[in-house]
Amino acid sequence: RKEVEQDPGPFNVPEGATVAFNCTYSNSASQSFFWYRQDCRKEPKLLMSVYSSGNEDGRFTAQLNRASQYISLLIRDSKLSDSATYLCVVNGMGNAGNNRKLIWGLGTSLAVNP
Amino acid sequence: DAMVIQNPRYQVTQFGKPVTLSCSQTLNHNVMYWYQQKSSQAPKLLFHYYDKDFNNEADTPDNFQSRRPNTSFCFLDIRSPGLGDAAMYLCATSWASLAAGGSYNEQFFGPGTRLTVL
């Protein structure tokens, strides 16, 4: 089993749609979770950290389910500018060196169409 | 604005000709990372520095080396680039603590250097 798994998509949705991405992780001891967004040929940018209680930022909602070891990202009222790859990221666990590392999913591609 | 800067943004080198990529940061973060990212793949961690402590990934080829002369700067040296080393190279920084339980914060990325090997 991969350490972090995501559905690669692509997800093609119309403007205004609601879309949800899920991500599973294998290490139950992981403590930090993030969603990054990456536009084509650009660097990844932090979209949201994911907290145990769930968190919302405008049209974006992130949830963490520790029992099932999955993370979700919900995008409401999709905009054309939301088209990007969304990367699920989990911190590595183990010795101190691994704690400083991020384990990356392969990303889910989203295309929002007019 | 605090940021992570990479130079050059585009680098073309010849097969086997050494190349150095640079990264600087104004965030005063204690951890700096180098990633390699190829098309349609997730970033692949090559190594990272926690302060001056170098941490290499087990599968990083010896062809890749790094230097961190001070907190602000970190370099990636590719001693003999091969065609397979053509990729985007991303530098990232974060703040991490070795306190009990550790604390881990998100990573901030520079814009990347796109390396072409001819």
Please report residues of A whose CB lies closer than 8 A to that of B29.
none
- Residue B95 has a CB neighbour count (10 Å cut-off) of 16
- Mean pLDDT across the stretch B47-70? 94
- Which pLDDT tens digit goes with each residue over B15-27? 999 999 999 999 9
C-alpha distance from B69 to closest chain A C-alpha (Å): 20
Q: How far are the Cα atoms of A65, A96, B24, B29 from residue B93, in angstroms, in the given order?
A: 28, 16, 9, 6
CB B111 within 8 A of CB B88: no
Measured between CA atoms, the residue of chain B closest to residue A87 is B42
Of A43, A97, A100, the CB nearest to B112: A43
Shortest CA gap B6–chain A (Å): 11
Q: What pLDDT shows up at residue B99?
A: 59
> Once rounded to an integer, what is the mean pLDDT over residues B55-61?
92
Phi, psi of B65 (to 5 degrees): -130, 165
pLDDT band of B43, cuts 50, 70, 90: very high
Task: Using CA atoms of A89, A94, A97, A102 in order, give the dihedral in degrees to the nearest 10.
Answer: 0
Query: Is there a contact between B50 and A100 if contact means CB atoms under 8 Å apart?
Result: yes
CB atoms within 10 A of CB B103: 13
pLDDT band at B2 (very low <50, low <70, confident <90, very high): low
A88 in reach of chain B (CB within 8 A): no
Out of A7-21, A94-108, B4-18, pick the least confident. A94-108
Q: Which residues of B fall within a CB distance of 8 Å from A43?
A: 90, 109-112
Q: What percent of chain B has pLDDT over 70?
A: 92
Q: How many CB atoms lie within 10 A of CB B86?
A: 17
Per-residue model confidence (pLDDT) at position B87 = 97
